[in-house]
Structure 1
Amino acid sequence: MDARFRFSTDPADIDRERVHRWLSEDAYWARGRSRELQDAALDGSRNFAVVDSASGEQVAFARVVTDGVTFAWLCDVYVAPEVRGRRVGVGLIAGVAAELERLGVRRWVLRTADAHGLYARFGFEPLAEPDTWMVREAR
């Protein structure tokens, strides 16, 4: 990520309206998500941003649902279209990884349909024992 951008864990750098617009209008996994639901998700998570240092505008977002010790779920990762290809996503995930490593979180998971290469750089791999994992979807 070039020096124009900075990684942030500061809640003041999260533009909640922008994040909601990105996710509810453009993210395949969250399209149509209500603002109320999005705000509740942010309130219950650790949130991360990449900010354009010159303008102060948020250009990327990720959140992590975690107990801060044993388990973390990386989700809602989004990079604004106008900065894609400039290693902003790499900087975002590097910052998140550093934060989770600092906490000593042992197991991280995520779900993605299109960014396997990015996450593989940070040690993510397909489940070794998928038959031991289960999921319950809302009905």
Structure 2
Amino acid sequence: ELQGLNKQETADKYGSEQAHEWRRSYDIPPMNGESLEICAERAVAYFTEHIELQLASGKKNIMIAAHGNSLRSINMYLDKLISQEVISLELATGIPMLYIFKEGRFICRGRPPAPTEGTVYAYTKVAKFSKLCL
């Protein structure tokens, strides 16, 4: 129902309160659409069954690019966020976040301080990072 509509067009057609509820709720899907909760079931299942498995098998580097709710879902899993935390998570378009997979767990090594602040991250065994994860 919302395919092809941007935020403003959705608000114009369905009202700003309804559009905001669809965009920022965890478990309320738009009609014939998917909530963040439904997206998380799909995205995290793929992540654990494919990405995490490859990392555990020794693959060193994997880059993930996806739309906002898929990335929020994966962040929720990696950072152990609860539903109320993930709905307010703002992700920057095209700005990387860096996680290290070590001893079967994910360690966040960097993310932008704000969605509009681009930062380049590099990782070395001796580097210490001042950027914090959630």
TM over 0.5: no
TM-score, normalised with respect to structure 2: 0.27
> Larger % of helix: which?
2
> Larger % of strand: which?
1
